[in-house]
Amino acid sequence: MIGDDIAAISTAPGEGGIAIVRLSGNDVIEKVERIFKPYRAGIKLSDKEGYSLSLGWLCDEKMEIIDEVLLGLMRAPRSYTGEDVVEINCHGGTLPARRCLKAVMRQGVRLAQPGEFTRRAFINGRLDVSQAEAVIEVIRAKTERGMNLALKQLAGRNSQEINLLEDQMIEVNAMLEASLDFPDEVGDLDYSAAQGKLQEVKNRIDKLLLAGERAEIYREGINVAICGKPNVGKSSLLNALLRKEKAIVTSIPGTTRDIIEDYINIRGIPVKLKDTAGIRSTEDLVERIGIERSQEVISEADLVLFILDVGTGIDQEDRKIYEKIEKKNKIVLVNKEDLEEKNISEAELEQLFPGVKIVRGSIIEETGLEELEESIEKAVLSGQLQSDDMEVMINLRQKNALLTAKRHIEESLAAMGKVSLDCLGVDIWGALEALGEISGKNLKEEVIERIFHDFCIGK
């Protein structure tokens, strides 16, 4: 199947300026040439160089016009897949793209499988497996920050880090094998030097794992629940952060009866913001169901924004709500600071919420919102921001491989000088194999299948 010529629609469905049908394979240029009528007579696609464009008509097997198209031609090996690639730029819309795809498939080109273009790029050495995985990270990025991290991975940042670790582990392995195979010439293993290199690799893996945890937040985002008693400004805060009127705001307690949610980008972090029903004792059945749902959302949230009303002060209702979120990652927002009469003092806040971040502001006047966003970022990252420049995006597969490599290195360090060199070599080689899974040097076929399974057709 690797030698087949493949094609797929590579643009999203729906109306647009253009749609692109992408082809890859050894004979795709010749096959498209059979059904392409260029505007300039005498032009042959098979004679054209790579990185060229040709305007004309794509036709069916009877040479009846299907659509006016612009053909992009890229020749192997300087193409995305490393093979000859043709991109048919037709008019946007579902019908033109489908007609063009059917026309090329009648020439003996089969429909591509999900991720097959990128898989061929990997097989042909255009991308390593870490870069191939970065393609889907770029597509799924929710914020500029997440996009930039994915692009660094696509540019080879992860590969550089893993190659450095592999080089150091190969050096340790070479020292060990030299002492095993040539004891008279080389002598005993320099345990101090080997230990130093292994510790250096372990420290670097720890840094990678920590950087990966930070990147996970920018990739997956977090769930933030807004909670408090009725009429403290929960829905107003949701609307203010979203910059739109998502939730109904009234002076009537219990207006919000169900969970209202939307996505927002807070300093590069994708945040799923959830406005919950005001928590209080009520006989209203619908409101009571809403409060129960709110409590479920709050219990599952990564971060809770607990809102207080500076005008009413901190009453028994506030205290009961806080008891339920006391163990959660939280920020307390003291709202309505624009009121002249303030019934919450700094001393009271310090006494009731020791060690908790307090933000004072007025949602209606949009004061304190910038401080709140900054506090959300700090609360989510939990002090993980580092001064180093390591910015890498690590998926679950890569993380597990790094943890396996780290475990082998730790076992090697613990056994250094206590076991034979043969036994020591087992863990050193195990660490190398685990690192090779990230770079793609030691990947099994079923793992490759799993990696490309989630890709869309056409990528």
6-20 pLDDT, tens digit per residue, is 999 999 888 889 999
- CATH number listed for the domain at residues 221-381: 3.40.50.300
Instruction: Output the pLDDT for position 93.
Output: 83
- Asked if residue 257 has pLDDT above 70, the reply is no
Binned at pLDDT 50, 70 and 90, residue 163 comes out as: very high
Give the closest residue to 433 by CA, choosing from 415, 413, 447: 447
Q: Percent of the chain scored above 90 by pLDDT?
A: 37
DSSP β-bridge partners for residue 354: none
Instruction: Output the pLDDT for position 445.
Output: 74
* Block residue for tokens 């006016």: 68
Instruction: Output the pLDDT for position 38.
Output: 93
- Asked if residue 253 has pLDDT above 80, the reply is no
Instruction: Output the pLDDT for position 184.
Output: 66
Instruction: Output the pLDDT for position 245.
Output: 61
Could you give the residue ranges of the DSSP H alpha helices within 39-109?
A: 94-105
Give residue 308's region: left, alpha or beta (phi > 0; psi -120 to 50). beta
- Asked if residue 109 has pLDDT above 90, the reply is yes
The domain limits of the chain are 6-112, 134-217+395-453, 221-381
Binned at pLDDT 50, 70 and 90, residue 450 comes out as: confident
Residue 405 Cα to chain centre, angstroms? 23
- Its pTM stands at 0.72
Residue 164 Cα to chain centre, angstroms? 24
- CATH number listed for the domain at residues 134-217+395-453: 1.20.120.430
Query: 6-112 sits in which CATH class?
Result: alpha beta
Give the closest residue to 192 by CA, choosing from 172, 167, 168: 172
Q: What pLDDT, in 10s, does the model give residues 205-232?
A: 999 998 888 888 888 788 888 888 888 8
Binned at pLDDT 50, 70 and 90, residue 390 comes out as: low
In angstroms, the CA 346 to CA 443 distance is 59
Instruction: Output the pLDDT for position 1.
Output: 64
Contact yes or no for 441/112 (Cβ under 8 A): no
